[in-house]
Amino acid sequence: MNHAQRTALGRALRVLGEHGEALSADTPDARLHEVKDDLRRALDLLEESVTTAAPSTRCAEHPTGPVDESAPDLCLLCETRRRAARRAEFNGPAPHAPPADPAPSRYGVRGDRPQPQQRWLPELWNGQVWQLCGTPRRDRREAELYIAAQRRGPRPAMAYRIVHEFTDYEVLRVWGTPVRVDIEPMGNL
- Give the mean model confidence (pLDDT) for residues 1-23: 85
Confidence grade of residue 145 (pLDDT, cut at 50, 70, 90): very high
Asked whether residue 131 carries a pLDDT value surpassing 60, the answer given is yes
DSSP secondary structure letter of residue 185: G
Per-residue pLDDT tens digits for 66-122: 998 888 888 998 888 888 888 877 777 666 666 656 566 565 555 555 555 788 889
Residue 31: closest CA among 23, 42, 41, 39: 23
Query: Are 44 and 8 a contacting pair, CB within 8 Å?
Result: no
Segments making up each domain of the chain, as ranges: 3-49, 53-93, 119-176
Distance CA 19, CA 32 (A): 9
Higher pLDDT pick, 155 / 186:
155
Which pLDDT score, from 0 to 100, does residue 142 have?
A: 93
- pLDDT-wise least confident of 28-42, 145-159, 162-176: 162-176
Distance CA 20, CA 27 (A): 11
For the chain, the average pLDDT equals 82
Q: Report pTM.
A: 0.35
